[in-house]
Amino acid sequence: METKRSKFIKDGFIKIEHLITQEEVDSLRTIYDGLLGDKVKTAHLRSDLAGADNSTNSRVERITQIMRPSTIAHELINNSAYKKAEQWAKDLLGEDMELDFDMMINKAPYTNTPTPWHQDAAYWIAMPDKRSASCWIALDKVFVENGCMWFIPKTEDNAILPHKNLPNGGALYCEIDSSKALSMPLNPGGCTFHDGFTLHFSRGNTTETHRRALILNFRPKKMIDYEREQGVDHTGERKQRN
Ligand SMILES: O=C(O)CCC(=O)C(=O)O
């Protein structure tokens, strides 16, 4: 019988329809919106995943990324979403899984900017233990037109494709055949989990409301220590490291 765990191992991703309740979504939205609206407090952790837009002097962020929000909003760490996602990560990959980093990725209304195809492991240093799980939590109803996640089921284990940066320090991307990609619409409080080697992407937000996602990345405690010893805390520049 296929379980969430066996599907995650086979395909490199799974979908969980209800990770947290609407009440829990509402309390996360309050914290999330507070950080999104505070460009001063978040300045050192905040950037545009689409790359800085130098051409227009525009201050409009197309894809707002805020790394490690729990280092500013400390209450996040004890939030039930973090606890539930961690339990799932342990169930999927083992009891030694812990939170490595959290991040917010928001697509503002009508910004219509895709997050390009990539593998998260391209951003990370090479690690002897390659287990990882990223939990992408929808704080809004997400669908194709506002930028839900898309995944390509894994065929090859742990191969990292060559990635390049979008101009001006933007996201990493790779050239791939996306004909087998599957979209992952979700209701608020639903989530997906993906492995660091799984190819994923999202379309731009063409709707009149925000597309808010909170992402929690888990890996073995020993690998988190290994990263920190090398100065990796997931707040540095975007570049291929692996
Ligand atoms: O939210 C997005 O558009 C992309 C998210 C992503 O790339 C990730 O969670 O690794």
Count the neighbouring beta carbons within 10 Å of the beta carbon of residue 82.
21
Atom of ligand 1 nearest to the CA of 63: 3
Residues of the chain with pLDDT under 50: none
Among the listed residues 178, 161, 98, 174, the one whose alpha carbon sits nearest the alpha carbon of residue 133: 98
Which residues sit with their C-beta closer than 6 Å to ligand 1? 105, 115, 120, 134, 136, 147, 200, 202, 213, 215
| Residue having the nearest C-alpha atom to atom 10 of ligand 1 | 120
Q: Which CATH architecture has domain 4-205+221-229?
A: Sandwich (2.60)
Among the listed residues 191, 202, 93, the one whose alpha carbon sits nearest the alpha carbon of residue 146: 202
Token pair of 143, please? 């669908």
Q: What's the N-to-C CA distance of the chain in angstroms?
A: 35
Centre of ligand 1 to C-alpha 65, Å, is 9
pLDDT of res. 1: 87
Of 134, 135, 148, 214, best ligand 1 pocket probe by most atoms within 8 Å of the beta carbon: 134
Of 215, 216, 217, 234, best ligand 1 pocket probe by most atoms within 8 Å of the beta carbon: 215
**What's the rounded Cα separation, in Å, for the pair 85 and 19?**
7
- pTM as predicted: 0.96
